[in-house]
Chain A
Amino acid sequence: KAGVTQTPRYLIKTRGQQVTLSCSPISGHRSVSWYQQTPGQGLQFLFEYFSETQRNKGNFPGRFSGRQFSNSRSEMNVSTLELGDSALYLCASSPGGVKDEQYFGPGTRLTVT
């Protein structure tokens, strides 16, 4: 079974631009979660989607948004990029039950200059 895939793997953007990251979950998984990893703040939960609906959201500004498509693929968007948005963005998929284990993708390394 193929694992979680994320595209692109690396991205360089300029302050003020916007960016869209993509995550394809493991086949059959309906839940996709997004996490931001930075050296200062560590790993922080952004949001989670299940069956095209956002089920939960972390404490991030509205510049961070996401969506999920009917095939469970998910995208996250960051508008008006700031230097502090430079991070490794990880997505994780699971079947969708509240106790199901999450499986993490390889991440997208975003650098904002």
Chain B
Amino acid sequence: ELKVEQNPLFLSMQEGKNYTIYCNYSTTSDRLYWYRQDPGKSLESLFVLLSNGAVKQEGRLMASLDTKARLSTLHITAAVHDLSATYFCAVAPSGGSNYKLTFGKGTLLTVNP
């Protein structure tokens, strides 16, 4: 059974600081997704990582994938308050289908002024 572990689960940081969220998974995968969720809202797709070594960047967020280590990271650079949200990683196992994603528990990020 595929397991996905995110850490930390809670992250409080000051504006302007950098931090990294980690996503470990237990079985082989070549597809990993990062989502953002604001309170009471749905999931917004941030990044799709499809191969080993993939790196994607959007604004102050950068995601990477190491399939050999079964690890993805979401790096936040110079955080701003607008980034406060819950971030999820989700994994589809190799040979599996996207429609059965296994999600991490989520990281609740609070950016303080």
Contact = CB atoms under 8 A, between A and B. Distances in A.
Interface size class on chain A is: 20 to 34
B99 A55 contact: yes
B75 interface: no
B88 interface: yes
Interface residues of B, number: 24
B42 A45 contact: no
A45 B31 contact: no
B103 interface: yes
A97 to B, nearest CB: 8
Contacts of B35: 104
Contacts of A104: 35, 42-45
B45 A101 contact: yes
A51 interface: no
B100 interface: yes
Given A43-B88, A101-B48, A31 B99 contact: yes
B99 A94 contact: yes
Given A42-B106, A43-B88, A101-B48, A90 B99 contact: no
Contacts of B103: 35, 42-44
Contacts of B45: 101, 103-104
Interface in A66-80: none
A60 to B, nearest CB: 13
Interface in B37-95: 40-45, 48, 50, 88, 90
A2 to B, nearest CB: 14
Contacts of B102: 45
A92 B102 CA distance: 14
Contacts of B50: 99
B98 interface: yes
Contacts of B33: 101
B42 A48 contact: no
B101 interface: yes
Most A CB contacts (10 A, CB to CB) among B40, B43, B102, B104 go to B43
Contacts of B101: 45, 102
17 contacts: A35-B103, A42-B105, A42-B106, A43-B90, A43-B106, A48-B99, A50-B99, A55-B99, A90-B42, A94-B98, A98-B99, A99-B50, A101-B48, A102-B99, A104-B44, A106-B41, A109-B40
